[in-house]
Amino acid sequence: MAESGTRPDEPERFPSQDSVSSKQDLIQWENASVETCTILSWLGYGQEIIQARRDAYREYGKLWTARACGEETIIITGSKGEGLSSFMESDLDQMVVDNRVFCLEDDVNISAFPGEITVLRSLSRRSYHGHCRLLLERRGTTIHRQLNDAFCDDGYGRELLSSDLFVNNWSNERLAEGMVQHERAGPSIPSTMRGHFHHDKVHALHYYCPNILSKWAARPRHWPPPEVAQRVVSLGAVLTPVGFKGSEYQHVEWRVCFNAGEIELISNLNDTQTKLYVLLKMIKNDVLHPRKKEVTSYTLKNIVLWMAENNPQASFHKKSILQWLHEALDALRVALITLELPYYMIPERNLMATSGLDEEQQRTWISTITDMLNEGPRVILRLPKIRQCIVAHPEPFRWYNGRRIELEMLTLMLMNRVAICMDENGEVDITDAILQALKRRTNEVISDVCVRMMIMEGSRVINAQAIFDSILM
């Protein structure tokens, strides 16, 4: 079907949902699911490459944490930390957690924390679920200026930590050479390095909240298994400097987040569940095109986590991915209709409460998703990356895919090697033998792609940096 993105001489591989009425139709449906899983692996969403990304970014966080000499913990979060985006595909989300400050739930005893630690007490009364205000309980012997200058009076003579002041204070950091800082975005401070490496940095505080985590762990569930749930509990929580939109206390409120625990959860999804999440992210980017983050990858992640928890693991397999995509799209449509989606870690918090979705956008998306549901498995032909794989010739596509994966692995190894070879002044030892070998092989791969493009496509002017960027997008 040329108009839907397949070659005219191809057999029909994506039957409509209405046609699944016989055993043969069901086989076609399942075959389309298997083919979709295969294509996603070719595109860089196979288990091995995803795990390699996770390992590389975890190591990157450890290397930079070590450079902080115990004062901060660096966590790479978002799609990079989850291993679900290639090197240039999305921003690098970096969380910097102050190790000299701890925030405690109401009934947690302060005595376990040494005197040099600054201790704050969370006050959740009159704040929306998953948010709190922070009162100073004890000022430690060492404290960041950005934190110390963010305290204000709560009107009763107590010191309250302002989330707004905290972010603004960190926004005044001295920038590295070649870095341009952008306007604050919620709790994050976005920046761009050398024009094309985009970073989102969030400064956060440790939050010790055993009551919230034990309540989450005690839920009856199919997934995750008890040992994974306990690891999530052990990873704890953080507070990020952003209040509930529209709250009268917004400028002094903090949001409870479980970034490290959620990376652990995503790492324990099976292959089909992970690829389902990838497909939903593609639909968000290539079909829905949200303008103001009315629907985010985080929204979709929570839908996948709820589905994993509420259904037997064995029902998620490569023959069923398109069925689960249908279920997930229907869950998204319900969330858009009702403007309700419980947060996976704290269900009382509604993720749609501050979506900012206007009625026209709501109607458009509900209509679009309804059309997609009626298309059945053919819905994936709406996704450019999937469609291009179907129409591409297998041999050059697989060759290119192999070069792309190798280049990404080399780039991730280079990223961490640079951190290892960097001194306290930020100078990199470019004579390092491993660093030179990685750069040499990287240049060889890019050169191979350039030559192939000249032979296959007749390209005459080849920009190596542009090739590098396009391969890793």
> Cα-flanking dihedrals φ and ψ of residue 206, to 5°?
-60, 140
pLDDT tens-digit readout, 288-330: 999 888 999 999 999 999 999 999 999 999 999 999 999 999 9
Place 21 in a pLDDT band, splitting at 50, 70 and 90: low
| Sequence-ordered alpha helix ranges (H) in 319-379 | 321-338, 359-375
Question: Which has the higher per-residue pLDDT, 186 or 452?
Answer: 186
Integer-rounded Cα Rg, in Å, for the chain is: 24
Q: Is 134 left (phi over 0), alpha (psi -120 to 50) or beta?
A: beta
Place 50 in a pLDDT band, splitting at 50, 70 and 90: very high
Average pLDDT score over residue span 211-228:
97
CATH 1.10.1410.40 at 2-45+269-388, yes or no: yes
pLDDT for 195 equals: 73
Residue 469: pLDDT over 80: no
pLDDT for 1 equals: 35
Q: What does CATH list as the number for 72-81+90-259?
A: 3.30.460
> Cα-flanking dihedrals φ and ψ of residue 228, to 5°?
-70, -40
DSSP state letters, 134-147: EEEEE--SS--HHH
Number of H helices, E strands in the chain: 16, 11
pLDDT for 467 equals: 67
pLDDT for 126 equals: 83
Question: Which has the higher per-residue pLDDT, 335 or 32?
Answer: 335
pLDDT for 460 equals: 56
Residue 76: pLDDT over 90: yes
Q: Is 36 left (phi over 0), alpha (psi -120 to 50) or beta?
A: alpha
Place of tokens 């994506």: 14
Report yes or no on whether pTM surpasses 0.85: yes
Pairing verdict, β 72-77 and 92-104: antiparallel
Residue 373: pLDDT over 90: yes
- What CA–CA distances, in Å, run from 296 to 50, 267, 282, 332, 396? 21, 20, 11, 11, 34
Place of tokens 């030559």: 451
Place of tokens 């949200």: 290
Distance CA(77)–CA(15), nearest Å, equals: 38
pLDDT for 7 equals: 35
- What CA–CA distances, in Å, run from 248 to 227, 257, 390? 40, 21, 52
Distance CA(150)–CA(136), nearest Å, equals: 11
pLDDT for 18 equals: 46
Q: Contact 340/319 with Cβ under 8 angstroms?
A: no
pLDDT tens-digit readout, 105-139: 987 888 888 889 999 999 988 899 999 999 999 99
Average pLDDT score over residue span 258-264:
98
